[in-house]
Structure 1
């Protein structure tokens, strides 16, 4: 089984390999994104006159979930990068120790995050833009989501290492099954049990527990190439630091995104009120849905990058970069076409509020203008993370999220009002694309002469 998966990563046609590795991730992520949409849809349909406040509450809670995602995905990507390169070099012992150390990091960070989140829940939500009318809805949703942090982080992080072994279909099944559970439980808890926004949160946590159980099954059975041993959970400072440093760009990406939400939500309150926050909540959920296929490609190509870089097959790395860029560009173009053709219908899925739709239709069109350039940024981050080039991937994250978007969100509304906030997104997307292209080309040019060597 080990030789079979190694041979697949080392020798299979790149187009077929990207398809094989990415398709399960795309399916799972799409379903996962859909169940995040379902929370918003059912809350919007189930709270009657309070639907806009419920949607706004979930929107304000979203940065907390992004921080959870940042921790789990950062550790998962860091661990997966080490594991895939170690397997490429035939060093199974290092792969096993990397897994054990990653699990310890996930457990510790999840416990700390949950405790701090519950203690400071109200101040945090207010900072993220919860007005007095939104706060009760945001609090009710967030406190239950926080209780499920460890289950979410465990399954999300270890899904990356499962893919690093070349077992993309099992990783897909984890996302697929947990998402279906959430989709089934949402209407049951919200409508049948009359639990409102709390029901949406509880359904989400239960689905995360299901995902956690599936991950444990994978690593306690004979499916995994890397046996899970308690002895490997003894902290190794070098491996732990490598895991954290490689995944740091992913963590910072989500963390900075959360910080940007502070500026965004506060600006939205000033220039558009609670309605603007609800509109933004819908736009970000639609954006995440359209981004999931791109992230699926990222999940699929990272093991290809890492394994072949570790094995010295540099031409396969270059070919994967080229083909994946064409694929993600086509996906992004398709997303823009759909958004521009049916923007009103998209908003009507969430709410029948005419005011919300009137504000939302032009906002979503403007926000998606530069979507075609986002795919390249994702491929560039995947390449740099997989090769252990943490500084480069971090720079891609910081360029859009720190250097470009916040100043634009602060300056443009002074001259354009609420429209200025929406315009900030496509401008920062394009500028981030320019930075990603420069860094990616620089790294690809080295592949003809470089040898596998990570960068701290």
Structure 2
């Protein structure tokens, strides 16, 4: 059965998991891809300070990923919608324009990071103890920016055609190379954090080659076409209009990391900043599989929305919501219950393990509700609702979380409740009650954002998805 026929007619539960399982596996492997550096770095002799150095470099890495989503991933739903409308030529034009944008942005970001890396790292929470290692890492990582752009940005066009297994292989190949190369460069060649960065960019380069071989090859339903290499600015703006939502969501993740780093440095010192890298790594253990599920649902929802088959859109969303909520609660509960085990993967320092285990339980209190947040957020994107999706991305981090990171230390810091909860780590940091207040901003924001986003999607659902089907036949 052709891919388009599958998207329009195959049983939804079977199709969703056929597309989502490879994406989920890819995201689970991607967790290893993202955190394997941190696992090895945490086992170094100066692991805590090295982990803190990586933590202050993470906002730059996140910002690079945000631009990938702006000009790459943002076009994938548009591409799927055009395939649903049986307009293959437009789908190819969208993909080719996205490819050109990724190359241009990759070059520009490389130049910016190499020129301004030191002031950026100082702004993001580096101090005398961590700056030199952070520079060692980011100066090498920046050289592979264009590989990151191609791998992440163009892999979305493989997944959106329904080739989820091929998209999974993109991540698996890179992860295997990274896992093998990391110990060689970090320990055997004694390159430390610089070796971790070198292993990462080599791995991303291999993945980028894999993606391009597929998209230029015979198996891809749509191709990168020479006649579309000259940018069509109307299409480029359309790609960025939809890509602005994941861009804002990821770029604000960078601002979020900066806010956490700066506040934790003030109240908790280097160890608290190092802990943030561990918390973000384990947060990915919960969120990346959810993103994999939503990636599996995206082609189904986008294609059938374009084909005006609203029943399939509704049924797909309902299933996605149930699975996202179930997984988020189970995964976050597991990580909280066995927090010391998960933290010990990243550190062999007893004090860091105690502190990070306590911080993790505070940080994840509200993370089960994130399942509803991401299900609705990604569904808005799959259905081309750029403006609403942007606002939902802004609400959680810009309107709620980042302000609370700065407000809560004044509202809750020093209170009997905060002091009591911070008791186990009081002797390890300058002000335990305010460290608790900074971390507690996360669960409060998760719960409030999930409620708001779900309410907004219910309104859209009743207005737009309750229409009778007007199926466009293949």
* Shorter-chain TM-score range: over 0.9
Q: Distance in 2 between the 1:114 and 1:154 partners?
A: 14
Q: Distance in 2 between the 1:176 and 1:35 partners?
A: 9
Q: Is 2:442 aligned against 1:425?
A: yes
Contact 1:34–1:289, Cα closer than 8 Å, also in 2:
no
Over 4 Å off, 4+ runs: none
Q: 1:350 is paired with a residue of what secondary structure?
A: coil
How far the C-alpha of 1:384 sits from its partner, in A, is 1.2
Match of 1:14 among 12, 17, 26: 12
Q: Distance in 1 between the 2:468 and 2:201 partners?
A: 45
Q: Deviations over 1:322-368 (max 9, x none)?
A: 00011011111111221122111112111121221221111101111
How far the C-alpha of 1:450 sits from its partner, in A, is 8.2
Match of 1:75 among 66, 71, 76: 71
- Greater CA deviation, 297-306 or 376-385? 376-385
TM-aligned CA distance change 1:101 to 1:450, over 3 Å: farther
Q: How does 1:29-428 map to 2 (within 5 A)?
A: 29-46=27-44, 48=45, 50-414=46-410, 415-416=412-413, 417-428=434-445
Q: Distance in 1 between the 2:87 and 2:365 partners?
A: 45
Contact 1:70–1:251, Cα closer than 8 Å, also in 2:
yes
Q: How many residues align?
A: 448
Q: Deviations over 1:350-403 (max 9, x none)?
A: 112122122111110111111111111111122111221111100111111111
Match of 1:440 in 2: 457
How far the C-alpha of 1:436 sits from its partner, in A, is 0.9
Contact 1:32–1:176, Cα closer than 8 Å, also in 2:
yes
Contact 1:301–1:382, Cα closer than 8 Å, also in 2:
no
- Greater CA deviation, 92-101 or 65-74? 65-74
Q: 1:35 is paired with a residue of what secondary structure?
A: helix
Contact 2:326–2:371, Cα closer than 8 Å, also in 1:
no
How far the C-alpha of 1:230 sits from its partner, in A, is 1.7
TM-score by length of 1: 0.96
Contact 2:42–2:348, Cα closer than 8 Å, also in 1:
no
How far the C-alpha of 1:443 sits from its partner, in A, is 1.6
Structure 1 segments unaligned to the other structure (5+ residues): none
Q: Distance in 2 between the 1:261 and 1:350 partners?
A: 18
Contact 2:79–2:95, Cα closer than 8 Å, also in 1:
yes
Q: 1:57 is paired with a residue of what secondary structure?
A: helix
Q: Distance in 2 between the 1:93 and 1:349 partners?
A: 48
How far the C-alpha of 1:237 sits from its partner, in A, is 1.4
Q: Deviations over 1:111-136 (max 9, x none)?
A: 11110111000000111101111111
How far the C-alpha of 1:310 sits from its partner, in A, is 0.4
Q: Deviations over 1:390-449 (max 9, x none)?
A: 111001111111111122111111232110011100000011101210121112112123
Match of 1:26 in 2: 24
Structure 2 segments unaligned to the other structure (5+ residues): 414-433
Q: Distance in 1 between the 2:288 and 2:276 partners?
A: 18
Match of 2:467 in 1: 449
Contact 1:44–1:55, Cα closer than 8 Å, also in 2:
yes
TM-aligned CA distance change 1:53 to 1:451, over 3 Å: farther
Root-mean-square deviation (CA, aligned residues, Å) is 1.3
Contact 2:75–2:98, Cα closer than 8 Å, also in 1:
yes
Q: Deviations over 1:290-330 (max 9, x none)?
A: 21110101111111111000011111101111000110111
TM-aligned CA distance change 1:135 to 1:94, over 3 Å: same
Q: Distance in 2 between the 1:132 and 1:450 partners?
A: 63
Q: Deviations over 1:59-79 (max 9, x none)?
A: 111111111111112323321
How far the C-alpha of 1:35 sits from its partner, in A, is 2.4
Q: Distance in 2 between the 1:395 and 1:263 partners?
A: 20
Contact 2:56–2:258, Cα closer than 8 Å, also in 1:
no
TM-score by length of 2: 0.92
Q: Distance in 2 between the 1:178 and 1:168 partners?
A: 16
Contact 1:99–1:232, Cα closer than 8 Å, also in 2:
no
How far the C-alpha of 1:15 sits from its partner, in A, is 0.9
